[in-house]
Amino acid sequence: QVQLVESGGGLVQAGGSLRLSCVAPESIFRLYGMAWYREAPGKQRELVARISSGTSGGIINYADFVKGRFTISRDNAKNTAYLQMNNLKSEDTAVYYCYVAGGRPSGYWGQGTQVTVSS
């Protein structure tokens, strides 16, 4: 069974930073693009950032609400994707999910990691 292991969430004050990590199985990580989504209570899951499977940075897209604050990256040697989150705001509070866009038609989702930004 494919399992994505997420870490790095927690409680942080507004203006602070967190770095999320997502470790995926070697069998799929290097083959597919990855993305970070988030889901706030009572709201739809939304795309935060995505990165292609290529090396040297790949093709990267960000949601408008995180541009200039968040950075997505991947280390294929470590089978790990990252989301560096700077200048966090209270509205960033959500469960953040790692997603691998391949391996099966629906892809694979991590279990989610809670990010809470206090005022």
**44: amino acid identity, one letter:** Q
**Are 97 and 109 in contact, with CB atoms under 8 Å apart?**
yes
Listed in sequence order, the DSSP H helices in 1-119 are: 26-29
pLDDT above 90 covers a percentage of the chain that reads 80
At residue 55, the pLDDT reads: 63
As a whole number of angstroms, the distance between CA 46 and CA 96 comes to 10
**Are 36 and 110 in contact, with CB atoms under 8 Å apart?**
no
Task: Count other C-beta atoms under 10 Å from residue 117's C-beta.
Answer: 20
For residue 90, the 8-state DSSP code is G
As a whole number of angstroms, the distance between CA 51 and CA 58 comes to 6
Task: Count other C-beta atoms under 10 Å from residue 44's C-beta.
Answer: 7
pLDDT tens per residue across span 48-105: 999 998 766 679 999 999 999 999 999 988 999 999 999 999 999 999 999 998 889 9
At residue 92, the pLDDT reads: 98
